[in-house]
Structure 1
């Protein structure tokens, strides 16, 4: 594949991530955002990046940089009251979850198809649920620091995680579907393997 064709593929992948990132940044400013909180694009972005970028730096760097930039924008504006210095309390658990979610995308969605998309979505949501809520539970005065306290924390998060599932599916269909349709129309966007470098 020529360098210009490679650059076009990479540019289109980045453009798709950028467009979805803008939606993630603008959505919290909506008057109805509380009704759709956690209906987020970030799970889909991690899965998409893990599936399409072979280069580990891009695969992990793009979603984590996206999360960081949007977190900074939101913590300086609409979530300013929740900001604790750098970002928000327990941010490192969120970033650990997102790195693991990209890894799941890389391992599960080696070939883009419906089954792998569904399995990848299930994996990233499960990782998000367990890792981020472990961060909420650990050292919390709200939940007993026992296994049953952790289960209670996980149970309390179900409504949020269901919206995370819906957001990951909806944005994932949009992202994966857009790129796969573009590959049909412009075959040079395909690689011998399913991932860009």
Structure 2
């Protein structure tokens, strides 16, 4: 919804990005990360959450920087331009990973604490 609001209020400044491949690749990453996360159902552990979090961050980095290279005339459309796009994304990647790990720990760890304290949240065995 925020993307639609920004496109409506910023007009041409934002419209090129909203209508371009970059935005759709971000949406695709969100969908793929959701599908990836479905693999955690019923098998949550600290190691699995860590692995899935790192995989999701790497997936987002690879796909969105590929999209930046593909749709941005700033990067030459060759292997060097693709490498430059990935290199330009590295400073942002560290914050993506740290943010993902923080929120994964807060959400999954918080739920584990709640499960420990509230019996109704514990997994039921059939």
- Partners of 1:191 and 1:176 in 2: how far apart? 14
Give the Cα separation in 1 of the matches to 2:57 and 2:32: 11
Name the residue aligned to 2:88: 156
Q: What is the Cα deviation at residue 101 of structure 1?
A: 1.1
Q: TM-score, normalised by structure 1?
A: 0.54
Contact 2:53-2:100 at 8 Å conserved across structures: yes
Instruction: Choose from 15, 25, 31 the match for 1:84.
Output: 15
The higher radius of gyration belongs to 2
Q: 1:32-89 CA deviation, whole Å, 9 max, x = no partner?
A: xxxxxxxxxxxxxxxxxxxxxxxxxxxxxxxxxxxxx34345x269x83742079464
8 A contact 1:139–1:145 mirrored in 2: no
CA change 1:96–1:140 in 2 (3 A) is same
Does 1 or 2 have the higher relative contact order (CA < 8 Å, sep 6+)? 1
Deviation, 1:144, is 1.5
Task: Verify: 1:146 aligned to 2:78, yes or no.
Answer: yes
**1:160-196 per-position Cα deviation (integer Å, ceiling 9, x unaligned):** 1111111111111111111111111112213348xxx
User: What secondary structure is seen at the aligned counterpart in 2 of 1:157?
Assistant: helix
Q: Is the aligned partner of 1:98 residue 2:35?
A: no
- Segments of 5+ residues of structure 2 without an aligned counterpart are none
Deviating beyond 4 angstroms after TM superposition, the runs of 4 or more aligned structure 1 residues are: none
From the superposition, tell whether residues 71 and 169 of structure 1 become closer, same or farther in structure 2 (CA, over 3 Å): farther
Report the aligned-residue RMSD: 2.5
- Structure 1 unmatched ranges of 5 or more: 1-68
Give the secondary structure class of the aligned counterpart of 2:50: helix
